[in-house]
Structure 1
Amino acid sequence: MDNQFEIFLVATPGLEAPLAAEVAELGWQPVTQPGGVTIHGGWPDVWRANLMLRGATRVLARVGSFRAMHLAQLDKRARKFPWNQVLRPDLPVRVEATCRASRIYHAGAATQRIERAIAEELGAPIVADAAIVVKLRIEDDLATISLDTTGESLHKRGHKEAVAKAPMRETMAAMFLREMGFDGSQVVLDPMCGSGTFVIEAAEIASGLAAGRSRGFAFEQLASFDAGAWAAMRAGVTARPPTQCFFGSDRDAGAIRMSLANAARAGVGDVIRFTCHSVSDLQRPDCAPGIIIVNPPYGARIGNKGPLFGLYAAMGEVFRNRFGGWRVGIITSEGGLAKATGLSLVPGPIVAHGGLKVRLWQTAVL
């Protein structure tokens, strides 16, 4: 096993392109694939990807591969794999396997061979709900061994406790902001802010805060982990005060309370203004034009989308009449609802969101 290996950054399906742009901005050379982005690097790159990336949902370290035409061969080669370089013998492990277009086609049998190799060669216990996950993928007779270095999905930033109904995941929010051209310098306003995800992400980006600063990761339990180097990496991320303010509003007072608490825990409460009112009462803030981004209700979410056409039409009228010079982004699963705004909206790629297929519809400058 080399010091450099392939690292797969899992993306929300449909948001591979903005993730690749973020990866390139951080200095890696991304290769975009369906479902994610591949880079090459070593363990410090794995740690940094988990800490810094806002659009990835998971970081998989592809630590080795070998040919296996049948189960006996898989067993033999798995026993020769240098498990002690990546796993600790004192911590439990679980194995997940998939087989595709290969002579080994039984994922359960393949899982058993890897589990037995780890248990007997390394001595690590195999536990069904272990936090450390070894992934085996056999495709075209090539067995690839990956480690889930993340643990809980990266959208769980670690400082958000209160969540509204039908929340937008932080990873998706960050990538939709990127698709709207947000680079940390613009004002962002969300008139249906729920638990504050869009404006909190925007404020964190503008502040130069690391996405994973408030949480732990699975890689901290691996044999390759260097606590001193990790502490230095985290300490090396320098925050800066934003030059602008961010704005969130919602007609639900409970949502505003959640947003205020979440923003305070994230350390950006001082640069976000939350107010409680409906979209019809939304007023243009006294600042330079910026970005409006909103995730309004859509039909699949509340059952009957008929009454929503009026809401979208009223929302579009408010944006047209009060927000000249701003740009608008609307996330919805219904093209008809987007068009009901009366705005000139251009649809982005289809994105998988909680079993639905949504798009970011955005305007040019109003």
Structure 2
Amino acid sequence: MEKFFASCPRGLEALLVEDLAACGARDITTLPGGAHFCGDWASCYAANLHSRIATRIVWRVADGAYAREDDIYQLALAVPWSRLFVAERTIRVDVTAVKSPLKSLEFITLRIKDAVCDRFRQEANARPSVDTRTPDVRISAFLTADRCTLYVDTSGAPLYQRGLRQKSVEAPLKENLAAGILRLSGWQPGTPLLDPMCGSGTFLLEAAQRALNVAPGARREFGFMRLSGFDAAAWTKLLAAARAAELPAAPAQLFGADRDPVAVRAALANLDRAGLLDAVELITEDVLDVAAPASAGVMIANPPYGERLSELEDLAAFYPQLGSALKRNFAGWNCYFFTADTRMPKLMRLSPSRKTPLFNGALECRLYEFKMVAGSNRPA
């Protein structure tokens, strides 16, 4: 059994645990922004392939106490790196720390790189080159006040990069955060889903993949493929099973709209590239004018947050109109809005039935749930 750590957007840890358990992970323990777990390499491959929530999955290769920089060098030097990957692979080292007494993370990064190269020279009379942009192997260190843990990345590019998106508009949501919001809404394939502010289509892409049973990692490569212990036969079998379970693209009661025709064209291009276009209906329409495509369903939207004063004033004028449009057009729908603007429910004159704290990167946000009935949603 190997030891791994999976990271995820903060607030989605419980959903990450569900994903990891479904892939055969054991001894799962959560902390803010991720979960430690044990498993064999098949469970690591499966988690990379199937988890819609994980950001990255890393393999723990060393852990030890430290008091100074040289302790970390010695910890890294003790790892048999040449058994993990060949010297021809390029590497990158990243260091993060919480309450570490050491002054320079840049110096620690350099010392870990030196240790990796020194160990390679001892064992293979060769050393890997550094590539900070597109490395073959990513090595990371996490420092607490007195312990250092070393990891090797198994994911490569972050797992929210599904290999599907071609075009984006300003500030798109990360795909794993969008997938988590879909799960938190309770939406299930077969239920009508509408994103009336769809942008480049992230929610729709994630929903279409679920509706057609497309594994999120089925169209991309992973870091574990470049490690020496990679079991190509096991991976080929796993990937073949995932692709055999996919459903052909067909209408799936997924609907999107945006008032910006550029955004709609971007969403169309992304869905087309992903082979999911037939599952989704898209129109160019303002959210205030969109008609409900069914008598009941789930609406999910990520409205603009507003950063400048003029934007905040525009949103303050927009929210009451949005609240009125929801009451007028979407009785019987469950509506979810993901935003960092805590003024939103009050200005919409609606009372959320639930609000879930989530983080978009470092930005604290809320997922507001409004169960729409005819007339006001406020209690008497």
User: Is the shorter-chain TM-score for this pair beyond 0.5, marking a shared fold?
Assistant: yes
Q: In the superposition, relative to structure 1, how do residues 73 and 153 fare at CA in structure 2: closer, same or farther (>3 Å)?
A: closer
Counterpart check, 1:90 vs 2:88: yes
Instruction: List alignment gaps of at least 5 residues for structure 2.
Output: 121-125, 374-380
Q: Structure 1 residues 47-56 or 18-27, which shifts more?
A: 18-27
Counterpart check, 1:118 vs 2:125: no
Q: Structure 1 residues 197-206 or 94-103, which shifts more?
A: 94-103
State the alpha-carbon separation in 2 of the partners of residues 84 and 183 from structure 1: 46
- Deviation per residue, 1:271-314 (Å, 9 max, x gap): 100011112221121x4622100111222278521222332222
Q: In the superposition, relative to structure 1, how do residues 309 and 77 fare at CA in structure 2: closer, same or farther (>3 Å)?
A: closer
Give, in angstroms, the shift of residue 324 of structure 1: 2.1
Q: Is the 8 A contact 1:23 1:53 kept in 2?
A: yes
Equivalent of 2:336 in 316, 326, 329: 329
Counterpart check, 1:78 vs 2:81: no
Equivalent of 2:290 in 282, 300, 312: 282
State the alpha-carbon separation in 1 of the partners of residues 164 and 308 from structure 2: 26
Equivalent of 1:15 in 12, 23, 34: 12
**SS of alignment partner, residue 258 of structure 1:** helix
Q: Structure 1 residues 176-185 or 22-31, which shifts more?
A: 22-31
Q: In the superposition, relative to structure 1, how do residues 246 and 99 fare at CA in structure 2: closer, same or farther (>3 Å)?
A: closer
Equivalent of 2:326 in 303, 313, 319: 319
Aligned residue identity for 1:93: I
Give, in angstroms, the shift of residue 91 of structure 1: 0.8
Q: In the superposition, relative to structure 1, how do residues 138 and 357 fare at CA in structure 2: closer, same or farther (>3 Å)?
A: closer
Equivalent residue number for residue 272 of structure 2: 264
Q: In the superposition, relative to structure 1, how do residues 312 and 218 fare at CA in structure 2: closer, same or farther (>3 Å)?
A: same
Give, in angstroms, the shift of residue 13 of structure 1: 2.1
TM alignment of 1:35-50, pairs within 5 A: 35-50=33-48
Instruction: List alignment gaps of at least 5 residues for structure 1.
Output: none
Equivalent residue number for residue 219 of structure 2: 214
Equivalent residue number for residue 377 of structure 2: none
Equivalent of 1:310 in 314, 317, 328: 317
**SS of alignment partner, residue 112 of structure 2:** helix
Q: Is the 8 A contact 1:185 1:244 kept in 2?
A: yes
Counterpart check, 1:127 vs 2:130: yes
Give, in angstroms, the shift of residue 355 of structure 1: 5.0
Q: How many residues align?
A: 362
Aligned residue identity for 2:5: F
TM-score scaled by length of structure 2: 0.86
State the alpha-carbon separation in 1 of the partners of residues 314 and 141 from structure 2: 48
State the alpha-carbon separation in 2 of the partners of residues 166 and 111 from structure 1: 30
State the alpha-carbon separation in 2 of the partners of residues 189 and 23 from structure 1: 29
Equivalent residue number for residue 300 of structure 2: 293
Aligned residue identity for 2:258: D
Give, in angstroms, the shift of residue 328 of structure 1: 0.3
Aligned residue identity for 2:369: Q
State the alpha-carbon separation in 2 of the partners of residues 165 and 111 from structure 1: 33
Give, in angstroms, the shift of residue 33 of structure 1: 0.6
Q: Structure 1 residues 188-197 or 76-85, which shifts more?
A: 76-85
Counterpart check, 1:249 vs 2:257: yes
Root-mean-square deviation (CA), in Å? Answer: 2.5
Q: Structure 1 residues 192-201 or 304-313, which shifts more?
A: 304-313
